[in-house]
Amino acid sequence: MNCRRARHILMQEAAGALDEKRSRALRGHLERCPACAAELEDLREAGRIFGRARAPLADPSPAVWESVRERIQAPTGRKNVPARRPLMWGVAASFAAAALAIAGYFTLGTFTPQGGLDSPPAALQSIAPQEAPPPHVREPQPPAQSAEGSPVTAAEKSSLAQAKVPAAPLPVARRSSATPPSRPHRPAASRPAPEAPPAAVVAWSLPAAPVTEEGRGGYADTEAAGTTRDFHLRSRAVSDHEKRSEGLLLAEPPGEGPAAAWAGGGEMSAAVAPAPDELEESARALEMVYTSPDGRARTILDY
Amino acid sequence: MSPSAGTRQPEEADAALVQKARSGDLESFGELVRRHERTVQGIVTRMIPSPDDAEDVVQEVFVSAWQGLQRFRGDARFSTWLHTIAVNATLKRIRQMRRHGQVSLDDPESGTAERLAADTAGQPFEQAVSAEEKAAVRRALQNLSDNHRMTVVLYYFEEHPCEEIARMMGCSVGTVWSRLHYACKKLKQELRDIRGGDGAAGARVERPDA
């Protein structure tokens, strides 16, 4: 075992979570490597301190359920039974595939397979910082611009091309009510806001077709961004996405999505944005922006 | 690492309540809220400094869960599904707040890190944390990204297993370990700075391979 491999599993060893076989192999390395042994001790100490630093929480507010019930039952709410919305997994999967392909596209374009977990995502750092002033309208850029010099193979390009266009016509679906549930305590902070511009953008066209809110697809892309160095992971990640996306889509405020505008066709673009911390490897966000035919841009997903 | 309160709850009881709630039984959903509000509040309030915002997000999580109950297919634990919603709603709100300039979670005055690493004096069930350790934890947390901070919260403060954290955060287990590794290095570096009398705010942690 070399230092690089050792450091990938040091934290697990520090937490006592390493299986015996790997732990033994690691200990063999540590006997020969004082630097890794010292780092293990650092991690153990830090872990102990984090564990002790946990603050006790106040008791849960007794009003939680009352407030939640009030929101659920509010006259402006959707309904007083759980929403039984049609799940457009076909559409969601199309966009999931697109999202993954895009994430993988940039990942492949910016990481080398040998990069390893600890390699700084140097190319990503060249992407515009998130703190840049937010534009009102974002113009999708051609893929070639962002793909310049990327080592994307023909097969990957083919996959990406497929992802750019929804594989099947978007199903016609009933439009869900656009009325958001009552949010009596909702602060101004939760309103949609202009956002930082993506620097690397892939764009594709959407057919004019009615789409439900669920059809907007897209999801927080940490898995894809963190793991699509290996393109074979894509299909597995898509199926995983179906599980995770439930929570993610639910986290989107109902009724505030771009479903209405989307139904009129237009352009869709997506970008992998850098994480605020340059050393964060897996938290890059995928932003999907819908630009309607009249040029207005709306962010579909801002993770 | 002991499992969280949420994961200790009998899954069968949750499943039965979910079944009833899916058919529109509000009281069953209310029971689910009561069973899981502690863990949801733990995730949210350890990350969001403003009590009003935190409370709003907690409510939002449960309202979203109610609205999406039909999509919960039972192939994961209800608690994991719910915590996934909580993690995403929390991270989303933090990003919105930051975008609006409402609060900087990196602001030492915001109180977030202070609350995360509270003074445990007078809390007999917590082990003592020295002043320098407390300061180091506070500084480390302030300087971590949202995802790193959330990972620390979920692992060390809410005591979720890494596999569950990976599911909640939509990342691989390896990424969770990698984030914990980075966070621990950061903490150790802050501790070294404090102990060495070098309180340089801009001190950086070297990457493991750097």
Instruction: Based on the fold, state whether residues B155 and B93 are members of the same structural domain.
Output: no
Residues A287-303 have pLDDT tens digits of 444 455 555 555 443 33
Mean pLDDT of A242-255: 28
User: Where would I find the H helices in A216-301?
Assistant: 222-227, 233-251, 259-262
Question: Which of B92, B144, B156 minimises the CB distance to A51?
Answer: B156
Strands ordered across the beta sheet of A201-206: A201-206, A266-273, A285-291, A297-301
Mean pLDDT of A197-219: 34
Please give the pLDDT value at position B98: 83
Question: Which of A84, A187, A222 minimises the CB distance to B170?
Answer: A222
pLDDT band of B102, cuts 50, 70, 90: low
Question: Which of A61, A69, A220 minimises the CB distance to B170?
Answer: A220
Instruction: Based on the fold, state whether residues B59 and B114 are members of the same structural domain.
Output: no
CB of A303 within 8 Å of a chain B CB? The answer is: yes
Please give the pLDDT value at position B151: 95
CA-CA distances (angstroms) from residue B120 to A49, A253, A258, B117, B190?
A: 12, 37, 46, 8, 20
Question: Which of B63, B116, B177 minimises the CB distance to A181?
Answer: B63
Query: Is B154 a residue whose pLDDT tops 80?
Result: yes
- Looking at per-residue pLDDT, the higher value among A268 and B128 belongs to B128
The span from the CA of B130 to the CA of A297, in Å, is: 51
Instruction: Based on the fold, state whether residues B32 and B85 are members of the same structural domain.
Output: yes
Mean pLDDT score of chain B = 79
Residues B193/B199, Cβ–Cβ less than 8 Å = yes
Q: Which segment, A139-153, A173-187, A273-287, B37-51, is predicted with the most confidence on average?
A: B37-51
List of chain A residues whose C-beta atoms are within 8 Å of the C-beta of residue B175: 222, 226-227, 281-282
- Reported for A60-65, long-range contacts at CB under 8 A and 24+ positions apart, including other chains, are A60/B37, A60/B38, A60/B41, A61/B41, A61/B55, A64/B33, A64/B37, A64/B41, A64/B55, A64/B58, A64/B59, A64/B62, A65/B30, A65/B33, A65/B34, A65/B37, A65/B62
Percent of chain B with pLDDT over 90: 41
CB spacing of B145 vs A302 below 8 angstroms? no
Of B76, B103, B130, the residue that ends a domain is B103
CB spacing of B68 vs A78 below 8 angstroms? no
Residues B71-98 have pLDDT tens digits of 887 778 899 999 999 999 999 999 888 8
pTM: 0.54
Q: How many CA atoms lie within 13 A of A177 on its CB side?
A: 10
- The residues facing A202 across adjacent strands are A270
Residues A12-35 have pLDDT tens digits of 999 999 889 889 999 999 999 999
List of chain A residues whose C-beta atoms are within 8 Å of the C-beta of residue B42: 57
CB spacing of A52 vs B129 below 8 angstroms? yes
Instruction: Based on the fold, state whether residues B118 and B94 are members of the same structural domain.
Output: no
Residue B2: both structure tokens together: 């002991």
Please give the pLDDT value at position A163: 37
Query: Is A244 a residue whose pLDDT tops 50?
Result: no
Instruction: Based on the fold, state whether residues B113 and B208 are members of the same structural domain.
Output: yes
Of B80, B103, B126, the residue that ends a domain is B103
CB spacing of A42 vs B169 below 8 angstroms? no
Mean pLDDT of B182-192: 93
The span from the CA of B162 to the CA of B176, in Å, is: 6
Residues 265-294 on A with a CB inside 8 Å of B are 275-277, 279-283
Percent of chain A with pLDDT over 70: 23
Of B55, B71, B103, the residue that ends a domain is B103
> Where along chain A do its domains lie?
3-52, 88-176+196-301
Mean pLDDT score of chain A = 49
Supply the CATH number for residue B73's domain.
1.10.1740.10
List of chain A residues whose C-beta atoms are within 8 Å of the C-beta of residue B93: 189-190
Residues A52-87 have pLDDT tens digits of 888 777 776 677 888 898 888 876 544 444 544 333
Mean pLDDT of B7-31: 83
A 10 A CB-CB count for A82 gives: 24
List of chain B residues whose C-beta atoms are within 8 Å of the C-beta of residue A12: 177
Domain containing B20 equals 1-103
CA of A283 to nearest chain B CA: how many angstroms apart? Answer: 7
Instruction: Based on the fold, state whether residues B135 and B77 are members of the same structural domain.
Output: no
Total domain count, chain B: 2
Residue B207: both structure tokens together: 């990457």
CB spacing of B178 vs A187 below 8 angstroms? no
Query: Is A209 a residue whose pLDDT tops 90?
Result: no
Residues A218/A286, Cβ–Cβ less than 8 Å = yes
Instruction: Based on the fold, state whether residues B95 and B115 are members of the same structural domain.
Output: no
Residues A201/A140, Cβ–Cβ less than 8 Å = yes
ipTM of the complex: 0.80
Instruction: Based on the fold, state whether residues B55 and B134 are members of the same structural domain.
Output: no
A 10 A CB-CB count for B19 gives: 13
CB spacing of B93 vs A189 below 8 angstroms? yes
Please give the pLDDT value at position B11: 77
Q: Which segment, A181-185, A229-233, B51-55, is predicted with the most confidence on average?
A: B51-55
Query: Is A113 a residue whose pLDDT tops 80?
Result: no
Please give the pLDDT value at position B113: 53
pLDDT band of B190, cuts 50, 70, 90: very high
Query: Is A177 a residue whose pLDDT tops 70?
Result: no
- Looking at per-residue pLDDT, the higher value among B134 and B203 belongs to B134
The span from the CA of A48 to the CA of A65, in Å, is: 35
Q: Which single residue is written with the structure tokens 């009596």?
A: A184
Q: Which of the residue ranges A203-217, A255-269, B60-74, B98-112 would you say has the lowest mean pLDDT?
A: A203-217
Q: What are phi and psi of A271, to 5 degrees?
A: -145, 145
Residue A115, C-beta contacts closer than 8 angstroms, at least 6 positions apart: A121, A229
Question: Which of B53, B175, B187 minimises the CB distance to A226?
Answer: B175
